Structure 1
């Protein structure tokens, strides 16, 4: 599907006091600073969306110079003082002929001051647009991303609606124009669709948030789990693992800070990693499938947590991180109930009583888990089972008389 992009960068930036398109954010390779405009261009091109037009207006020379450096096409709004909808119309007009010829089938429209969008949001929009086109053809709806009950950027607009939007009277801007069209909201695991930068304090907040674009919050993780239709029993287990991993992380951070060391561990990331560790449960090698899925969504740190949750060995000179805490937390959760670590492996040993090779592998995994538990106990100054018991209900002992 041929999807084009309109980036709105014509604003006066009165409240910001600086040209938003040129503000540096750590969105470049390896987290290097680049302009907000470059960050968005990298995002869209990374998803195969290369037909991009930047709408300039106020500060046109500076914005257009940056666009040329990035090899982006520009079109200038002749009357930016008329507001953002005039820039929307300028951008859509640039694609009207391409749409008539079938070269553009849909458009993503976003302001440059919402620069932290995640790849997974674009993937969701693209995939759903393909489905809608197959179902509805030219009657496909506008797609609006949604997080936590709030609509965000960017909408994906079928090109068939360009003329109707251009004919809109301007009331309530693009939102008002889209309200007159068939539309569908899509829940996405991306709070960044709501994060814009209008004022200097907003920019400072986005600078802090930018490094987190590669990981999900627990709230975002829940959205992704629901999108994947994960079974309720797996959701309950995953919630338990997330709670235990977060408790481990909280104690670890408290101990490190008490000793004057950097925390170097995030309880919310540990919780989100625990929530997602079984996202592909039911597939062969579900841990690898889950890691591959999260890698494809642009979440490599979370992919590593999921990929390694079954079994790992941490060298003594490597620090504990969320990855190890999720792995260990999983071993204390039978469903959503607390079990001693050894019982998890004893049950597996009984299940494979006739397969000595599998039993040997199970014993190896148990030894590594026990070693990890000892490390966590030492660094948290608390037994992992005791920490897990603070957040979980113990499972009943199995009836051995049966």
Structure 2
């Protein structure tokens, strides 16, 4: 199975007040943590969608063996990054795409590999992360869903899509699914290390 892993990291971090992708975590950044987990996973190639602050962020991640995807429409919301990611990889012979966020630093390669394993056992189903009452990303979508993903609009990203295809989704629960959106969440994460 040939799996593309696409990290969505194009947002402007309005609630944080600064580019959260560049926030220091140990000897890397918040986005760097996600990239390192992605590179250690069983995916075949890692891509990162960049939009706001792209030049600065690109410089901070240039040492990683990944390919970046520009998203000039990032102000249209998370869906625009998913669409750009799928548009970029669709003709590159991937069987599936694993979509993750650049601001979920507790999502490690073991968790990503659980999604990959679930997909390998169920190659026609979506394997997605289960939150309290929702399903979301990280999630792995077989190629047969690429066309529908390219129709996404707005800031809800994959959540509505996953709810619409509930019968096609295998849910995987984890306590690692925290997002970092505010200074307080960032401090709490640093304190937990």
**TM norm structure 1:** 0.45
State the aligned residue count. Answer: 192
Contact 2:2 2:95 in 1 (8 A): yes
Larger RCO: 1 or 2 (CA < 8 Å, sep 6+): 2
Post-superposition offset of 1:2: 1.2
Structure (1/2) with the larger helix percentage: 1
Post-superposition offset of 1:168: 3.6
Structure 1 partner of 2:171: 186
**TM norm structure 2:** 0.89
Structure (1/2) with the larger strand percentage: 2
Task: Tell me how far apart the structure 2 counterparts of residues 167 and 151 of structure 1 sit (CA, whole Å).
Answer: 19
Does 2:41 align with 1:40? Answer: no
- How do residues 131-210 of structure 1 correspond to structure 2 at under 5 angstroms? 131-133=121-123, 140-146=124-130, 151-170=135-154, 172-181=156-165, 182-188=167-173, 190-193=174-177, 195-209=178-192
Post-superposition offset of 1:61: 0.5
Deviations 1:146-199 (A, max 9, x none): 2555535301111221111112454843212233335323333x3111x11111
Structure 2: unaligned runs, 5 residues or longer: none
Deviates more, 1:16-25 or 1:85-94: 16-25
Task: Tell me how far apart the structure 1 counterparts of residues 160 and 132 of structure 2 sit (CA, whole Å).
Answer: 21
Q: Secondary structure at the match of 2:62?
A: helix
**Rg bigger for which structure?**
1
Task: Tell me how far apart the structure 2 counterparts of residues 186 and 124 of structure 1 sit (CA, whole Å).
Answer: 11
Post-superposition offset of 1:77: 0.8
Structure 2 partner of 1:124: 114
RMSD: 2.0
| Structure 1 pair 41–168 and aligned structure 2 pair: CA distance change class (3 A) | closer
Contact 1:4 1:108 in 2 (8 A): yes
Structure 1: unaligned runs, 5 residues or longer: 27-32, 134-139, 212-402
- How do residues 209-358 of structure 1 correspond to structure 2 at under 5 angstroms? 209=192, 211=193
